[in-house]
Amino acid sequence: MAGVDGPLVFLIAGEPSGDLLGGRLMAALRQRTGGRVRFAGVGGEEMRGQGLNSLFPMAELAVMGLVEVLPRLPKLIGRITQTVAAVRRLRPDALVTIDSPGFNFRVARRLKGAGIPLIHYVAPSVWAWRPGRARKIASFLDHLLVLLPFEPPFFEREGLATSFVGHPAIEGRGAADGAAFRRARGIGAEAPLLALLPGSRRGEVTRLLPVFEQTLRLLIRRLPDLNAVVATVEPVAALVRDAVARWPLKPIVVQDASDRSAALAAADVALAASGTVTLELAVARTPMVVAYRMAPLTMALARRLVAVRFITLINLVLDRPAIPEFIQETCRAEALADAVEKLLVDPGARAAQIEAMESALVALGGAGPEPSLRAADVVLTVIAAAPPATEATIRERNR
């Protein structure tokens, strides 16, 4: 039951994209409750900006892939135990876990039956691989918030209440001022500007930075007036800044969320790691080339399990290769440079990609409130519908 200061919501985000979702959800909950809401949990700078005092640094959870996770497993298990204990101690009105299923689902499983509504935000891609996961998560979650309109049936057929809230990429469309970004940094309106986005996890950044540097070296030989900006995020910012200091052109490095958005809007073309940022680029109407490399063992496993043709959501929604993708062995500097150069020098290629991105964003959008407000409405509805705590559930929470 909500306290006199409003409901207490415990949120857990494990990576920058989840932190952004969490920050927006917290702001939306404040808006919907007139500020009468309290927060606890784990998050990064976006959630801290909304008043969250993170239980521990979110960067500890931003790992991906079997090879990367194994050395850190003991510490991750300790953080799971610490988080579960904090939830039981605080007795929140709801637990909202955001993406990062490897960590979050382990927390949620341990809290099943504790009398706390368990809500997860961002569905696992059961339509891409391991469809049996839908049944497994339905066994311990109470509600699921999904980003894609075709996802609810996969989970509803397993008995899990599911709400489509819309993709965060449609939120705040067109707000960034690319022209102001250029003026502030002395980049002419007609000067070619390339944005490089090497990822948000240490492993992917480490693998992509060298090939991005090689790509940039090739491009400046072909386009001597090229400018470059590197957009990064808090968990890997120090790593990126250290590497980029040795690059040609001395690229501008941006980390703050507003600077990142403005940089994407200012760029003519982007070279980006696969991930949520590709939708941010689509919203900014910035044509892109997508690159990705995994640890060899992780990639070998992925190829055996994944059942989709593309890794970029724009391509998945459109079911065609509108965005060039270069994965693993095809992720080479020469191929990346050729694809980026084509977009920089060919207005027709840029226009065709922008048109494709707009079509995909329409499919991911929909009428009504912004996604964060829709998500907040669902969270508050779940809290309102939760039965009052009994002596048994209170004992279970404190166990």
For the chain, domains (ranges, CATH) are 8-166+367-398 (3.40.50.2000), 178-364 (3.40.50.2000)
- Provide the strand spans (E) within 32-116: 38-42, 94-98
Give the chain's residues under pLDDT 50: 64-67, 397
Q: At what angle do helices 202-222 and 237-244 cross, to 10 degrees?
A: 30
Token output for 148: 């894609």
Look up tokens 């368990």; give the residue.
Answer: 118
206-246 pLDDT, tens digit per residue, is 999 999 999 999 999 999 999 999 999 988 999 999 999 99
Look up tokens 């599911």; give the residue.
Answer: 162
How far is the C-alpha of 394 from the C-alpha of 399, rounded, in Å?
Answer: 9
Count the helix, strand and coil residues of the chain and give each as a percent rounded to the nearest 5.
Answer: 50, 15, 35
Q: What are the b/e assignments for 18-49, b being 16+ CB within 10 Å? A: bbbbbbbbbbbbbebbeeebbbbbbbbbbbbe
- Paired residues of 95 in beta bridges: 10, 118
- Paired residues of 13 in beta bridges: 98
How far is the C-alpha of 385 from the C-alpha of 368, rounded, in Å?
Answer: 23
How far is the C-alpha of 288 from the C-alpha of 271, rounded, in Å?
Answer: 6
How far is the C-alpha of 231 from the C-alpha of 198, rounded, in Å?
Answer: 8
Which pLDDT does position 328 carry in this prediction? 81
Which pLDDT does position 64 carry in this prediction? 46
Contacting residues for 228 by C-beta, under 8 A, at least 6 apart: 193, 194, 195, 196, 216, 247, 249, 251, 252
How far is the C-alpha of 113 from the C-alpha of 186, rounded, in Å?
Answer: 58
Phi-psi region of 45 (alpha: psi -120 to 50; beta: other; left: phi over 0): alpha
Token output for 379: 């969270």
pTM over 0.75: no
Decide: residue 204, CB within 10 A, 0-12 exposed, 13-18 middle, 19+ buried.
Answer: buried
How far is the C-alpha of 49 from the C-alpha of 180, rounded, in Å?
Answer: 24
- The one-letter code for the residue type at 282 is A
Phi then psi dihedrals of residue 96, to 5 deg:
-115, 110
User: What is each CA distance from 201 to 26, 206, 390, in whole angstroms?
Assistant: 24, 9, 42
How far is the C-alpha of 289 from the C-alpha of 27, rounded, in Å?
Answer: 33
Dihedral angle of Cα 213, 174, 354, 279, to the nearest 10 degrees:
60
- Paired residues of 230 in beta bridges: 196, 253
Phi then psi dihedrals of residue 325, to 5 deg:
-120, 135
Token output for 166: 């819309």
Residues in the chain: 399
How far is the C-alpha of 66 from the C-alpha of 44, rounded, in Å?
Answer: 23
The neighbour count for residue 321, using CB atoms within 10 Å, is 13
